Amino acid sequence: MAKWKLLVGSKSFGKAFPEHLRQLEAAGCEIVPNQVGRPYLAAELKEALRGIDAIVTGTDELDAEVIASADRLKTIAKHGVGLDNIDLKAARARGIVVSAAFGAVHDSVADLTLALLLAVARGIVPAHLSTRSGQWKGFMGLELRGKTLGIVGLGRIGKEVALRAEAFGMRLAATDPRPDPAFAAAHQVRYLSLPELLAASDAVSLHAGLEQAGRPLLGAGELALMKRGAILVNTGRGHLVDEGALAEVLREGKLLGAGLDVFQEEPPKKSPLLGLENVVLAPHMAGDTREARRRMGEITVENVVRVMRGERPLSPVE
């Protein structure tokens, strides 16, 4: 098998687990490390991908022009699960095999989803800040038992969230373009339309792709359908929610609060959510556990090596 040149775009690949780089080298890869110390911009990639057979990418700008200019690129291996940075249509047109680390982060993301839900429901952040400042006062919270959790996107992560919520005694509702009747029957999940789910849920958790081009999944109209006193959690994608509209319903007290790990712009330097007291914010850390990083690296390595051998990757993007 001829030696492949592999560009590492992902900032985290091989950092915590350098053995993943060694495994690729043992398989016949010449590793080209990231030269910019951050995700590559499209203009930079046009030069960086010259003579490159494979890229392990994080959030590098792999747009149509970049992919068209890549003279030897055979595979794009996403070190993660989100594919927004890759022009999949352009990759397919060039016969470039795209893969992702599906299944690597579902437990980690589900854990943080429940952590954010509990943090908002019990006022943990303001209680912590108050106690640390020397105050000693009560904070009235909400129990999860008996409340309805609406899950938008009942895929791998959504199902893990459902299992955790079920253990807390929550009722479950979901919306998904590809229903899983067996899972729904086993865990008493009601499938609803998005408007029905928003109106019926005491808490809503987002795990969907962006289905509507040009607008967020939850804008002012959709947020208006939610119950007064409900909680919104987003560990999916930042562009699923109109942050201006969300800030408005949080300011007026329609929603009890929100827990967010993803934002329309990252880092969220100008987000209207930053100054609100009834939000819990995290820096896109849902998948950042040692266990998830190890799994992500292992799957990424396997995806690349299989393509090198002329085989189907472990987790292809169809």
The pTM of the full predicted model, rounded to 2 decimals, is 0.90
Distance CA 79, CA 297 (A): 7
Distance CA 99, CA 296 (A): 12
- Using the predicted structure, report yes or no on whether residue 269 has a pLDDT greater than 70: yes
What is the predicted pLDDT for the residue at 82? Answer: 85
- Using the predicted structure, report yes or no on whether residue 123 has a pLDDT greater than 80: yes
User: pLDDT over 90 for what percent of the chain?
Assistant: 96
The residues carrying an active-site annotation are 237, 266, 284
Q: If 0-12 CB within 10 Å is exposed, 13-18 middle and 19+ buried, where does residue 167 land?
A: exposed
Distance CA 208, CA 94 (A): 28
Q: What is the mean pLDDT of the chain?
A: 96
- Using the predicted structure, report yes or no on whether residue 95 has a pLDDT greater than 80: yes
Structure tokens at 141: 């919270």
Structure tokens at 34: 């990231």
- Using the predicted structure, report yes or no on whether residue 317 has a pLDDT greater than 60: yes
Q: Which CATH architecture has domain 4-104+290-308?
A: 3-Layer(aba) Sandwich (3.40)
Q: Find the mean pLDDT for residues 108-134.
A: 97
- Using the predicted structure, report yes or no on whether residue 211 has a pLDDT greater than 70: no
What is the predicted pLDDT for the residue at 26? Answer: 97
Residues of the chain with CATH 3.40.50.720: 4-104+290-308, 106-281
Q: Find the mean pLDDT for residues 303-312.
A: 97
CATH 3.40.50.720, domain 106-281, yes or no? yes
- Using the predicted structure, report yes or no on whether residue 24 has a pLDDT greater than 90: yes
Distance CA 212, CA 229 (A): 27
Within 8 A by CB and 6+ apart from 220, the residues are 242, 245, 248
Name the packing angle between helices 106-122 and 290-308 (round to 10°).
150
What is the predicted pLDDT for the residue at 209? Answer: 76
